[in-house]
Structure 1
Amino acid sequence: MNIIGRLTKDAEVRTIRDQQQVVNFSVAINESYRRKNGEQVKKTTYFDCSYWRTVNVACALTKGTLVELTGSPSAKAWIGKDGEARASLNFKTDQIKFHGGGAKHTTAATQAAIEKPQPMEDDLPF
Structure 2
Amino acid sequence: MEITSTGVLTGKAEVREVKGGKTVTNFTIAVNRTYKKDGELKRETTFVDCAWWLNAGVAEYLTKGTVVELYGRIGARAWINRDGDAIANLTLTVLNLKLLGHAGKQGTQRADTEPVQTMTLVVDGKPGEDDDLPF
Q: TM-score range by the shorter chain?
A: 0.7 to 0.9
Amino-acid identity (%): 42
Corresponding residue for residue 75 of structure 1 = 76
Corresponding residue for residue 26 of structure 1 = 28
Distance in 1 between the 2:83 and 2:20 partners? 32
Corresponding residue for residue 14 of structure 1 = 16
SS at match of 2:84: coil
Corresponding residue for residue 52 of structure 1 = 53
Unmatched 5+ stretches in structure 2: 109-135
- Higher RCO (CA 8 Å, separation ≥ 6 residues): 2
Aligned residues: 106
Structure number with the higher helix fraction is 1
Corresponding residue for residue 41 of structure 1 = 42
Unmatched 5+ stretches in structure 1: 107-126
Q: Residue by residue, what CA displacement relative to the aligned partner does 1:60-81 show, whole Å, maximum 9, x if unpaired?
A: 1010000000001100000111
User: 1:40: Cα distance to partner?
Assistant: 1.1
1:85 maps to a residue whose letter is A
Corresponding residue for residue 94 of structure 1 = 95
User: 1:83: Cα distance to partner?
Assistant: 1.1
Q: Report which of the two structures shows the higher radius of gyration computed on alpha carbons.
A: 1
1:6 maps to a residue whose letter is V
1:64 maps to a residue whose letter is G
Distance in 2 between the 1:41 and 1:50 partners? 29
Q: Report runs of 4+ in structure 1 exceeding 3 Å deviation.
A: none
* TM-score for both structures, normalised by structure 1: 0.78
Question: Over the residues paired in the alignment, what is the CA RMSD in angstroms?
Answer: 2.1
